[in-house]
Amino acid sequence: MTDEPPLVKIRGIKLEGRSDETWNPIINGVDLTLARGEVLGLIGESGAGKSTLGLAAMGYTRDGVRISDGTVEFDGIDLLTASAAIKRDLLGKRIAYVAQSAAASFNPAHKLMEQHVEGPVQHGVNDRGSSEEDGIELYRKLRLPNPDEIGFRYPHQVSGGQLQRAMTAMAMSCRPDLIIFDEPTTALDVTTQIEVLASIRDIVEQYNTAAIYITHDLAVVAQMADRIKVLLKGDEVETADTRTMLSAPTQEYTKSLWAVRSFERPKKPAVSTGAVPVISVQNVDAAYGKVPVLYDVSFDMHSGRTVAVVGESGSGKSTTARCITGLLPPTAGQIMLDGEVLPADYRKRSKDQLRQVQMIYQMADTALNPRMSIGQIIARPVQFYLGLTGAEKRKRVDALLEEIELEPTEYYNRLPSELSGGQKQRIGIARALAAEPKFIICDEVTSALDQLVAEGILRLLARLQDQLSLSYMFITHDLATVRAIADEVVVMKDGRVIEQGDKDEMFRPPHHAYTDLLLSSVPEMDPDWLSNLLAERGVDNIGDAAVDKM
Amino acid sequence: MGNVLTIILQRLALGALTLLIVSIVIFVAVNLLPGDFAQNILGQGATPEAVDSIRRDLGLDQPPVTRYFDWLGGVLQGDLGTSFAQANFASFTGTDSGATTVAAQIAPRFANTMFLAMVTAIIAVPLSITLGVLAALYRNSVFDRAANITTLSSISSPEFFLAYILILFLAVLNPILPSLSNIYEGMAFSERLQKSLLPALTLTLVVTAHMMRMTRAAIINLLASPYIEMARLKGLSPMRVIVKHALPNALAPIINVIALNLAYLITGVVVVEVVFVYPGIGQLFVDSVKIRDIPVVQACCLIFATAYILLNLTADIMSILSNPRLRHPK
């Protein structure tokens, strides 16, 4: 083994990306070595250059990116000087790629099997018939339901988790020596993620395939990788064996990544009996057109407290928020504000009722008007709800900017595009605060942000709550966030509230079976977590399969 | 599939409604034309009695609403009316045998126009799509620029100019094709085709740019999609990536532009017909407007409108069918 040359050898690679007519560094000279059959975890925050480096290992760069220095060797072949024809022969056949969003990476116009057999047939590895048989075999190994038929469906007819496994099968179709996994489970729910992780790990072990596993989730990479490499803004921070890295990181940055999960708010006293909730959702049913999506949803939210609404995608979390804001009038039930019934339709609510309920969105990028300056964005609700103009308005906007820890003179005239993701989310918070509401709906406000930035946002929200006695409805699918800031938890599934109660109660067994599944599916830093969990649940009762049984 | 059928039926109903509204617009617009047939045919010195008599014969003295419903009722029963020009001489000479229906007058002309449109489409559509695919494949190359410049120059030049250039090179300097396209009924197919070739080539030059550029743009638009990156990372050849992975997803906008151009071929080719003396419907239309032969004008307008609506309807339906989400619901 020691004499054998490495499968991948990258030395001093430098990559640059073009923006505004200049080339800016993305990766500043990183080395990477991968032995046959080895799985290397590549972690870092967004912008660290993980994906760019992963693609460079295939000798591929996206449009607007170039390799300015260094070497990439695959099995002794220099990929940077190799001709396009030689590289095409390697890609798909000996080096394969699994993308983040399988839904976007499968061609919507062709059936799964059509796309599966394309690689082996075009590369002359196998004929169509045996490729199809092999595809079915791989689908079976990856525990896809109906392996004999699923390949003959179109991508839109198959769920996200299944597509991700079908894409892994497609990558396996030519039995490559190396697969690049680029955040393959980031877009999936936790219960689905388990299934995909287990499938990927099995099949990679079974065929002794080497892999580069790119992710920002430490707990996930701990399950998958033999070694971990940490990247920060295009530089390598450290590389070590997985267990060593988890137990004894040497660099400050790595330690700070590990520490993010420790933020937790002190427990608040219980709500006094008889207190009127700020918002009370009472027996709400709702439908999109004729399709019912919410059934008898009820819960209360009290002043100065945070209610976390958790559940998988499609469970009705955001629909409940739309009912509260009046964007989607419920078909039955009602919403109460301070003990008074709110009109179902926002158009029938008074300005003051509208002012009391504000929202912060998941994608700060699309929630801010790109043509308005920060000052204008925050000033609008100030003028609309509070009727302030001129110098008074400016004073209020400045105060709000200070509140969210951004220097007014520096940021007032900037456009959203000149801000970072975390700063944009802060502007979203300031805009909600500008109306001086009692109640704010936070819809997945941290899920698009890196862990360190997200923690800053959570701390800010917590401080504002203490200062202004705000009440938050916190929609999230991330249970670590729930642990950090919630007072009460509402668990939703398929449009129904499954369980609700005090946070401590919810995190302490016994749980409702679904809550238990949700909680136990959140990856933990322990590298043996996945193996133990699979052993505990049994092969037939993981992830999706377990959900389906409920 | 039931889903798609409902959509198609809805579009058909909408198309019929559109046609009804268009028929009103046509009727009103044609009646707003200054002067009338009787005045026109009898000249300046006509006595009011003579004019009135012809007007009475042709039903022009009826109120517009009555005339509209008479016309619409006829059209719905497949009767486009009687051409004034023919009817007039019949009643004047008292023989009545030469009376010609609008349908009989338009039919051969319309068939000629459809023939020319079809020959053009058979040349232009595959040519534009091929050029568009190649331009997308070799984008920003010399080929791409040359194809763009050529097609854009030809679309920017007046049609008669293109026609004369083609006549100069293909009929005068190198007598390969006839410069006159005087086709008639009973002509052999091959001869008919040969005579139609020059006008068809002229029209090809006119419509290619639009279709080719849309093909190129629609494909390039998709090249940043994750599934195209995936196809490249599977080691497929650039040609296969474009033809197999990009083109099927780019069909909807391309089909729509093709439909618009085909509609143009049926309705907008008067200049080319005049240059080549091609007996199509465009010339008939212009002549009828000149002499205020209202039934013919209205019928032509209605045919043009129907062609537009039908082609756009077909394009809509084909776009729907090119989308697997609609063809195969969950």
Which chain B residue's Cα is nearest to A176? B234
- B227, A154: Cβ pair inside 8 Å? no
Output phi, psi for B92, to 5 deg.
-70, -45
pLDDT above 60 for B94: no
More confident residue, B311 or A262: B311
Residues of chain A contacting residue B236, judged by C-beta atoms under 8 Å apart: 88, 92, 118, 122
In chain A, DSSP finds a helix count (H) and a strand count (E) of 23, 20
Within a domain: A339: yes
Same domain, A406 and A387: yes
Residues of chain B contacting residue A104, judged by C-beta atoms under 8 Å apart: 225-227
- Which residue(s) pair with A179 in the sheet? A96, A211
Residue ranges in A7-158 assigned as alpha helix (H): 50-56, 84-90, 102-105, 112-122, 128-141
Output phi, psi for A293, to 5 deg.
-125, -25
pLDDT in tens, B205-250: 999 999 999 999 999 999 989 999 999 999 999 999 999 999 999 9
- B227, A105: Cβ pair inside 8 Å? yes
- Angle (CA) A432 A433 A436, round 5°: 115
Same domain, A159 and A114: yes
Q: How many domains does chain A have?
A: 3
pLDDT in tens, B259-285: 999 999 998 788 898 889 898 898 888
Same domain, A251 and A221: no
Residues of chain A contacting residue B242, judged by C-beta atoms under 8 Å apart: none
Distance from CA of A365 to the nearest CA of B (A): 20
Same domain, A166 and A303: no
Same domain, A311 and A364: yes
Q: Considering CB atoms only, which of B225, B233, B325 is closest to A156?
A: B325
pLDDT of residue A512: 80
Query: How big is chain B, counted in residues?
Result: 330
Tokens in use for A231? Answer: 């990247």
Same domain, A74 and A122: no
- Angle (CA) A543 A361 A449, round 5°: 65
Within a domain: A351: yes
pLDDT of residue B91: 47
Same domain, A312 and A432: yes
List the single range of B13-17, B24-28, B33-37 with lowest mean pLDDT: B33-37
Cα distance between residue A214 and residue A472, in whole Å: 34
| A50 CB-contact burial (10 Å; exposed 0-12 / middle 13-18 / buried 19+) | buried
- B227, A91: Cβ pair inside 8 Å? no
Residues of chain A contacting residue B227, judged by C-beta atoms under 8 Å apart: 104-108
Comparing CA positions, the residue from A129, A151, A154 lying closest to residue B248 is A154
Is this complex's ipTM strictly greater than 0.95? no
CATH, residue A17: 3.40.50.300
Residues of chain A contacting residue B3, judged by C-beta atoms under 8 Å apart: none
| B321 CB-contact burial (10 Å; exposed 0-12 / middle 13-18 / buried 19+) | middle
- B234, A118: Cβ pair inside 8 Å? yes
Same domain, A185 and A241: no
Residues of chain A contacting residue B226, judged by C-beta atoms under 8 Å apart: 99, 101, 104-105
Distance from CA of A174 to the nearest CA of B (A): 10
Q: pLDDT confidence of B30, banded at 50, 70, 90?
A: confident
Same domain, A236 and A303: no
Within a domain: A267: no
SS3 content of chain B, % helix, strand, coil (to 5): 80, 0, 20
Comparing CA positions, the residue from B255, B310, B263, B260 lying closest to residue B114 is B263
Same domain, A533 and A440: no
Cα distance between residue A309 and residue A479, in whole Å: 10
Distance from CA of B239 to the nearest CA of A (A): 13
| A206 CB-contact burial (10 Å; exposed 0-12 / middle 13-18 / buried 19+) | exposed
Tokens in use for B183? Answer: 């086709």
Spell out a b/e string for B134-160, using b for 16 or more CB atoms within 10 Å of the CB, else e: bbbbeeeeeebeebbeebeebbeeebe
Same domain, A481 and A496: yes
Q: How many CB pairs under 8 A join A and B?
A: 74
Within a domain: A518: no
Residue A151 contacts by C-beta under 8 Å, 6 or more apart in sequence?
Answer: A111, A112, A113, A116, A132, A135, A136, A139, A166
Residues of chain A contacting residue B231, judged by C-beta atoms under 8 Å apart: 107
Could you tell me the pTM of the whole model?
0.79
Q: Please give the mean pLDDT across all residues of chain B.
A: 86
Distance from CA of residue A6 to its chain's centroid? 33
pLDDT of residue A248: 83
Same domain, A218 and A287: no
Range of the domain at A3: 1-34+48-91+231-257
pLDDT average per 10 residues of sequence, chain A (550 residues):
77 87 88 92 84 91 89 91 91 92 90 94 92 92 86 88 89 92 83 85 88 88 91 89 86 77 73 85 90 92 92 86 93 92 92 93 87 93 92 93 89 88 90 94 85 85 91 88 88 90 81 82 83 78 62
Comparing CA positions, the residue from A153, A185, A192 lying closest to residue A168 is A185
Comparing CA positions, the residue from A162, A173, A107, A92 lying closest to residue A135 is A173
pLDDT in tens, B107-148: 889 999 999 999 999 999 999 999 999 999 998 899 999 999
Angle at which helix B84-93 crosses helix B48-58, to 10 degrees, equals 120
Which chain A residue's Cα is nearest to B233? A91
Q: Considering CB atoms only, which of A88, A106, A108 is closest to B235?
A: A88
- Which residue(s) pair with A98 in the sheet? A181
The DSSP H or E segment spanning A307 is: strand A306-310
pLDDT above 80 for B93: no
Within a domain: A13: yes
Within a domain: A453: yes
pLDDT of residue A91: 93
pLDDT of residue B87: 58
Output phi, psi for B113, to 5 deg.
-60, -45
Distance from CA of A2 to the nearest CA of B (A): 30
What are B's interface residues with A at a Cβ cutoff of 8 A?
224-227, 229-237, 240, 244-245, 248-249, 324-325, 328, 330
pLDDT of residue A550: 62
Within a domain: A504: yes
Q: What is the DSSP string of B183-215?
A: --TT--HHHHHHHHHHHHHHHHHHHHHHHHHHH
